[in-house]
Amino acid sequence: MAPAAATTDEDFEVVIGLEVHAQLTTASKMFCRCSTDYSGAAPNTHVCPVCMGMPGVLPVINKRAVEYTLMTGLALNCQIPERAKFDRKNYPYPDLMKGYQISQYDMPLCRNGWVDIEVDGVKRRIRVNRVHLEEDTARLLHRADSSGEEYSLVDINRAGMPLMEIVTEPDARSPAEAVAYLQKLRQILRYLGVSDANMEEGNFRCEPNLSLRPRGSNAFGQKVELKNLNSFRAALRAMEFEVQRQAAVLRSGGRVVQETRGWREDTQETASQRSKEEAHDYRYFPEPDLPPLAITREYVEELRRRLPELPESRRERFLSEYGLSPYEAELLTESRSRADFYEAAVKAAGGGKRAKLVSNWFLSDFARHLNAAGIEASESKVRPEQLASLVVMVDEGKLNGAAAKHVLEEMFAGGRDPEEIVRERGLSVMEDEGAILEAVRKVIAENAKVVGDYKAGKPGAINALVGPVMRETRGRANARRVQELLEAELKG
Ligand code: ADP
Ligand code: ZN
Ligand code: MG
């Protein structure tokens, strides 16, 4: 390989493989009965002899964690081997209570899956090498006392939390592709309900491995592992920085050293944390305190049947079943709760062509209120049936679009039924032709100049009269009917 031949960034191909650690949303920890719900709890209050790593205790496998991992594997198109086992990964570190982590080495729960992504019209399959289960470590808090003396505190609440690791093959070819994979993975985990998958909260932690090679080369270059990424934005920035850094090293004739580099938010740079020379030999061996797992095919098929409809197929179905655009389908299936809300509203509205109308209202006015409040549809006071009623009233011509916007605003604020708001405010469309005609005549009488323009051969002038009539009727008249009555009056 001759990296020196590459003289510009375009001469290098980016290669990225991703490791993701996702905390599972089980009720109890991986190998003990401690509650996983410790957020906001005082340090070291969700602990027991097992997760504190006391000698002489025995771990017990959390069945739900195994189930969640298998469900994830199935959703990621993985094979589920008939046998799996846990192994000890040994390394000395203050956040590791036992001096080893129970993980899975050569017999993980899931293997050989894939996730399809698309970036700028380019589709790519990211192969998933494995999905395995392990336990999280404790958390260290680094402090300094008043004299500047540094010390560390340990919070064991996180120790023993069920942690799922998902490792890809080095298939992503740009930082944008890597982020697209991460976003899709997060969406799938949330649809499955197996993880909150929140990067900012640390329950979805990603470590991209990135290398460059001269375009056209088949051999991989030396990779660098990136850590400390607390958002998709940080992940993207760190990878982009790393591409530039490695390209500069290679262009100047140097070689990239294998190391772990941490993203520094303050300087927007990656900095070396640990080189390969300091890497541990983990001395893996089978965990003697846990039995190997036999995964029956019946169990796998039962789990497969229980999988919810996943984002990709739900999006496809929204396209064909509701006649939505790809963009609308994408937005409406972004989260499972949003898609559920939309479908419930469509059903209540009677389906058919109203599916499109519900989508219009959902993605415009309703979405605006949701965004402003920073909540999901399922968290709002508006129920799917209420949104449906509003759409139906507009569709049946009982309520004007403009009035409906006000009604939705009130529904959003107070959660009341649209019918009730319409009745109370007298917003329903005027059935009384006489009243509309009265308003039309009044406006004609008050706008002699516009009327003159119209009669002088400017038919467009009539538009200037519609608004005042609508105001006269407090927005309750049907605009098309107003136009017709105006024309009839002016011609007559
Ligand atoms: P290690 O033994 O250093 O942990 P692995 O083979 O387990 O390496 O791979 C860890 C991650 O790094 C995987 O996601 C893999 O796809 C990725 N990876 C491996 N080699 C490269 C490379 N040359 N460039 C980019 N990513 C790589
Ligand atoms: Zn415990
Ligand atoms: Mg590895």
User: Could you tell me the distance, in angstroms and rounded to a whole number, from the CA of residue 257 to the centre of ligand 1?
Assistant: 14
Find the angle CA(294)-CA(298)-CA(299) to the nearest 5 degrees: 60
pLDDT tens readout for residues 165-213: 999 999 999 999 999 999 999 999 999 999 999 999 999 999 999 999 9
Ligand 1 atom having least distance to the Cα of 167: 14
Sequential DSSP letters for 180-235:
HHHHHHHHHHHHHTS----TTTTSEEEEEEEEEEETT--S----EEEE---SHHHH
User: Could you tell me the distance, in angstroms and rounded to a whole number, from the CA of residue 15 to the centre of ligand 1?
Assistant: 10
pLDDT tens readout for residues 123-163: 999 999 999 999 999 999 999 999 999 999 999 999 999 99
pLDDT tens readout for residues 15-58: 999 999 999 999 999 999 999 999 999 999 999 999 999 999 99
DSSP β-bridge partners for residue 163? 23, 134
Both tokens of 70, joined, read 């298998």
- What's the pTM? 0.87
User: Could you tell me the distance, in angstroms and rounded to a whole number, from the CA of residue 104 to the centre of ligand 1?
Assistant: 17
Closest CA to 422 of 409, 435, 438: 409
Q: Which residues contact 32 (CB under 8 A, 6 or more apart)?
A: 48, 50, 51, 59, 60, 160
Find out whether 176 and 229 touch, Cβ atoms under 8 Å. no
User: Could you tell me the distance, in angstroms and rounded to a whole number, from the CA of residue 169 to the centre of ligand 3?
Assistant: 11
User: Could you tell me the distance, in angstroms and rounded to a whole number, from the CA of residue 208 to the centre of ligand 1?
Assistant: 9
Ligand 1 atom having least distance to the Cα of 170: 16
Both tokens of 377, joined, read 């549809």
**Is it the case that residue 2 has pLDDT exceeding 50?**
no
Protein residue whose Cα sits closest to atom 13 of ligand 1: 17
User: Could you tell me the distance, in angstroms and rounded to a whole number, from the CA of residue 105 to the centre of ligand 3?
Assistant: 9
**Is it the case that residue 4 has pLDDT exceeding 70?**
no
Ligand 1 atom having least distance to the Cα of 171: 16
pLDDT tens readout for residues 370-401: 999 999 999 999 999 999 999 999 998 888 88
End-to-end CA gap in the chain: 89
Protein residue whose Cα sits closest to atom 19 of ligand 1: 170
pLDDT tens readout for residues 276-319: 766 679 999 999 999 999 999 999 999 999 999 999 999 999 99
Find out whether 389 and 419 touch, Cβ atoms under 8 Å. yes
Minimum-distance ligand to the CA of 135? 2
Minimum-distance ligand to the CA of 221? 1
- Binding pocket residue ranges, ligand 1, CB within 6 Å: 15-19, 167-170, 209-211, 220-221, 223
How many residues are recorded in the chain? 492
> For residue 257, what pLDDT is reported?
94
What Rg value do the Cα atoms of the chain yield, rounded? 31
Stretch 224-236: mean pLDDT, rounded?
Answer: 96
User: Could you tell me the distance, in angstroms and rounded to a whole number, from the CA of residue 328 to the centre of ligand 2?
Assistant: 45
DSSP class of 363 = I
Q: Which residues surround ligand 2, an ion (CB under 5 A)?
A: 32, 34, 48, 50-51
Q: Which of 223, 259, 275 to mutate to test the pocket of ligand 1 (most atoms within 8 A of CB)?
A: 223
Stretch 66-88: mean pLDDT, rounded?
Answer: 98
**Is it the case that residue 86 has pLDDT exceeding 90?**
yes
Both tokens of 12, joined, read 């290098």
Stretch 116-124: mean pLDDT, rounded?
Answer: 95
Q: How far apart are CA 126 and CA 124, in angstroms?
A: 6
Minimum-distance ligand to the CA of 31? 2
> For residue 278, what pLDDT is reported?
67
User: Could you tell me the distance, in angstroms and rounded to a whole number, from the CA of residue 212 to the centre of ligand 1?
Assistant: 13
Both tokens of 78, joined, read 């993985």
Ligand 1 atom having least distance to the Cα of 168: 14
Minimum-distance ligand to the CA of 36? 2
Ligand 1 atom having least distance to the Cα of 18: 14
Protein residue whose Cα sits closest to atom 11 of ligand 1: 17
Number of H helices, E strands in the chain: 16, 15
Q: Which residues contact 233 (CB under 8 A, 6 or more apart)?
A: none
Question: Where is pLDDT greater, at 481 or 118?
Answer: 118
Report which residue type is found at 429. V
> For residue 279, what pLDDT is reported?
67
Protein residue whose Cα sits closest to atom 14 of ligand 1: 17
Find out whether 194 and 25 touch, Cβ atoms under 8 Å. yes
> For residue 5, what pLDDT is reported?
53
> For residue 3, what pLDDT is reported?
44
User: Could you tell me the distance, in angstroms and rounded to a whole number, from the CA of residue 290 to the centre of ligand 3?
Assistant: 23
Both tokens of 404, joined, read 């409906």
Minimum-distance ligand to the CA of 224? 1
User: Could you tell me the distance, in angstroms and rounded to a whole number, from the CA of residue 80 to the centre of ligand 2?
Assistant: 29
Ligand 1 atom having least distance to the Cα of 209: 26
Q: How far apart are CA 466 and CA 478, in angstroms?
A: 10
User: Could you tell me the distance, in angstroms and rounded to a whole number, from the CA of residue 167 to the centre of ligand 3?
Assistant: 8
Minimum-distance ligand to the CA of 45? 2
Average pLDDT in the chain? 94
